[in-house]
Amino acid sequence: MFFSTEGITKRFGGLAAVEDVSVSVEKGTITAIIGPNGAGKSTFFNLISGIHPLSSGKILFKDHDITKMPPQQIARLGIGRTFQTTNLFEQSTVLDNVLIGHRLRTKSGIWDAIFRTKREKEEEKRSYQKALEALEFVEMMHVVEHPVSLISQEEKKRLAFALALATDPEMVLLDEPAAGVNPDETDGLAYLMRKMADHGITVCLIEHKMPMIMSLADQIVVLNHGKKIAEGRPEEIRQNEAVIQAYLGGEAHAPVKQY
């Protein structure tokens, strides 16, 4: 198995934000995590990327047990991610933002910096190449030199993808990649995610835009109150009683936006 979680649980005090969730993901597929607001989706991502330590359970990635690894090591193993709120450096250019993404694959330290060694120059060049490749992948070559403060919301989303791609990931976690962009632009972002998967990068995303997920995802995992209530192909999820119940029935939940 490429990536799997085995019964992972995260408790904040008495509250279980994520409880006993087991998920497995095949290489090169697109997995969507859905669920009402507060279902524990972002926490689930934070657990995988090592931001929060687990309360119990196990996470496996490429036959490595990454349960207790710090975030930087998990990133080095090949899990990239983007955040719900785009975390970018507004003052510097698009290229400068992506450049740092390749830092984890470079070794230059303080001596390389002071003496501007061959290694520093080579790694700098490699970082530039990697950044340009990533920007080309997300089709942003026309704004490479623009300061981030001038590009559109959709371009910022693409830029966040590029930054994650510059780390050379084998799997990316995208937290609401299409939030706050219009339907046309959403299609463009969905196309990008499909393109990543076609290039062998496994995609996991949290999203609220159902039409996009239904056409995009190979597998859907539904969380509610921190528990996994369903998983399967989009057409299975559409029919699933528990899912319909969680979204529409019984208790008061914020309904998912339908377009």
Partner 1 sequence: MLNVLSKRVLLIIVALAAVLFPLVFPNMYVLQLLTLVFIWSIAVYGYNIISGYVGYLSLAHAGFFAIGAYGLGLLTTKAGFSYWLSLLLAVLITSIAGALVGVIALRTKSHFFAIYTMCVGVIVYLLIDKWDSLTGGVRGLIGIPAPGNLGPITFDTLTSQYYLALFFLTFTIFLCYRIVHSLLGRTFIAIRNSEELAKTIGISIMKNQLLAFTLSALFAGLSGALYASFIRFIGPQISAITVTFEMLMYLLVGGIGTLAGPIVGTLIVISLTQSLQFLEEYRMLIFGPVVVLLVLYYPRGITGSINGYFQKKKQQRVKVANEEHDVKRKVGEAG
By the criterion CB under 8 A, which residues form the site for partner 1?
49-51, 70-73, 75-76, 80-81, 83, 87-89, 91, 96, 99-101, 103-104, 106, 108-110, 112-114, 116, 120, 123-124, 127, 142, 145-147, 149-150, 163-164, 166-167
Closest separation in Å from C-beta 104 to partner 1: 3
Spatial distance between the Cα atoms of 77 and 187, rounded to a whole number of angstroms: 30
CB of 146 to partner 1, least distance (A): 6
With contact defined as beta carbons under 8 Å apart, do 30 and 48 qualify? Answer: no
- The half-sphere exposure of 5 on its side-chain side, counting CA atoms within 13 A, is 24
Cβ atoms of 81 and 146 within 8 Å: the answer is: no
Taking the C-alpha atoms of residue 164 and residue 104, their distance in angstroms, rounded to an integer, is 12
Nearer residue to partner 1 within complex by CB, 40 or 80: 80
Q: Which is nearer to partner 1, 112 or 231 (CB)?
A: 112
Interacting residues of 47 by C-beta distance below 8 A, sequence separation 6+: 5, 8, 10, 18, 54, 59
Smallest gap from Cβ 74 to partner 1, in A, equals 8
Cα-Cα-Cα-Cα torsion 233, 78, 62, 38, nearest 10 degrees, comes to: -40
Between 127 and 219, CB nearer to partner 1: 127
Cβ proximity to partner 1: between 116 and 238 the closer is 116
Please state the closest distance from residue 106 (CB atom) to partner 1, in A.
6
The helix (run of H) or strand (run of E) holding residue 102 is none
Question: Strand, coil or helix: what is 123?
Answer: helix
- Closest CB to partner 1 among 143 and 220? 143
| Alpha-helical segments (H) within the chain | 41-48, 71-77, 94-99, 110-115, 118-137, 153-165, 183-198, 210-216, 234-239, 241-248
User: At closest approach, how far in Å is the CB of 142 from partner 1?
Assistant: 8
Token pair recorded at residue 29: 């597929």
Question: If you count DSSP H runs as helices and E runs as strands, how many of each does the chain have, helices first?
Answer: 10, 10
Nearest approach in angstroms of CB 120 to partner 1 is: 6
Least CB distance to partner 1 at residue 196 (A) = 17
The alpha carbon dihedral of 50, 170, 131, 182 has a sign of negative
- Give the nearer residue to partner 1 in terms of CB position, either 74 or 220: 74
The smaller minimum CB distance to partner 1, of residues 172 and 213, is found at 172
